[in-house]
Amino acid sequence: MSPTPEITDSHCHLDFPDFEGQLDEIVTRATEAGVTRMVTICTRLRNEPAVRSIAEAHAPVFYAAGTHPMSAAEEPMATIDELVALTKHPKFVGIGETGLDYHYTAESADVQQQSLRIHIEAAQRTGLPLIIHARAADDDMARILAEEYRNAPYSCVMHCFSSSAELAHAALELGFYLSMSGIAAFPKSQELRDIFATAPVDRILVETDAPYLAPPPYRGKRNEPAYTAHTARKGAEVFGMDYAEFAARTQANFDRLFAKAATYRAAA
């Protein structure tokens, strides 16, 4: 019997109340499904100590932190020094999530853009990848990412990508990565799958965004890192690859982008 292919849940939220008191079981189910690494994301910097403690308590878990765009107007503005200081932790592997969300919080667009540029500069200074949330803000997102890249290069993943083909192209042109979530596995998401199919397979990551966006057959239920495997199987179909080959490609992609996590794993 061949071993279960290894994959990484590149974006989840293990500090959310949905998982309270269950993290040992959640992590165990993930590893049994072949999900050998998880990046849990802090969306409000005041919660960073709690998110850090999850990464410290669970060997397969790494973490990132930033101010979510939907919270940008409610939270103190992050500083570059504050974000850079967090990167000293050995399991801190990315900046964000940050970005723009005009679907729910268009009224704070100016604050979101200011916050985004601060996070980009932290990524530029540290060399850690930027983790982007983009919704209903494609033009501003493409413009700001390109403007800042011209100032100084940086690496980036468009987390839970479900935006336009134009934003996908703009991100890929900058050398960025697109991450497939459970949305890509929804039956009515063929247009999104077609966008992914035009991307180089060496720029694709997989994620859950757990506890949200569970892929079939768990749609409508609480998502968890183990379910990354279901999205990855759909991804293999999109790229016309067998599952083991697609899993291996996404692992290599994650290691390339999140090099600090890959190095930590090798040294552990």
Tell me the per-residue pLDDT of 169-213, one tens digit each, with 9 for 90 and over.
999 999 999 999 999 999 999 999 999 999 999 999 999 999 999
Q: Is 68 annotated as a binding residue?
A: no
When pLDDT is averaged across residues 90-101 and rounded to a whole number, the result is: 98
Q: Is 159 annotated as a binding residue?
A: yes
Percentage of the chain lying above the pLDDT 90 cut: 97
What one-character-per-residue DSSP string does 4-64 give?
A: PPPEEEEEE-TTSGGGTT-HHHHHHHHHHTTEEEEEEEESSGGGHHHHHHHHHH-TTEEEE
Task: List strand residue ranges (DSSP E) for 73-214, in order.
Answer: 92-101, 130-135, 156-158, 177-180, 204-206
**Looking at the predicted structure, is the pLDDT value of residue 68 above 70?**
yes
Q: How does residue 3 score in pLDDT terms, banded at 50, 70 and 90?
A: confident
Q: Is 191 annotated as a binding residue?
A: no
Q: Could you tell me the CA-to-CA distances from 1 to 4, 5, 223 in Å, in that order?
A: 9, 12, 28
The count of other CB atoms within 10 Å of the CB of residue 23 is: 16
The count of other CB atoms within 10 Å of the CB of residue 74 is: 12
**Looking at the predicted structure, is the pLDDT value of residue 268 above 60?**
no
**Looking at the predicted structure, is the pLDDT value of residue 153 above 70?**
yes
pLDDT in tens, 120-138: 999 999 999 999 999 999 9
Predicted local distance difference test score (pLDDT) of residue 267: 57
**Looking at the predicted structure, is the pLDDT value of residue 26 above 90?**
yes
Predicted local distance difference test score (pLDDT) of residue 71: 97
Q: Is 110 annotated as a binding residue?
A: no
Q: How does residue 109 score in pLDDT terms, banded at 50, 70 and 90?
A: very high
Predicted local distance difference test score (pLDDT) of residue 2: 66
The count of other CB atoms within 10 Å of the CB of residue 53 is: 12
Q: Is 133 annotated as a binding residue?
A: yes
Report d(CA 178, CA 158) in Å as an integer: 5
Domains of the chain plus CATH, in order, are 7-267 (3.20.20.140)
Q: Is 13 annotated as a binding residue?
A: yes
The count of other CB atoms within 10 Å of the CB of residue 244 is: 15
Q: How does residue 51 score in pLDDT terms, banded at 50, 70 and 90?
A: very high
Minimal CA–CA distance to 261: which of 88, 49, 39, 47?
39
Report d(CA 241, CA 175) in Å as an integer: 23
How much is the mean pLDDT over the chain?
97
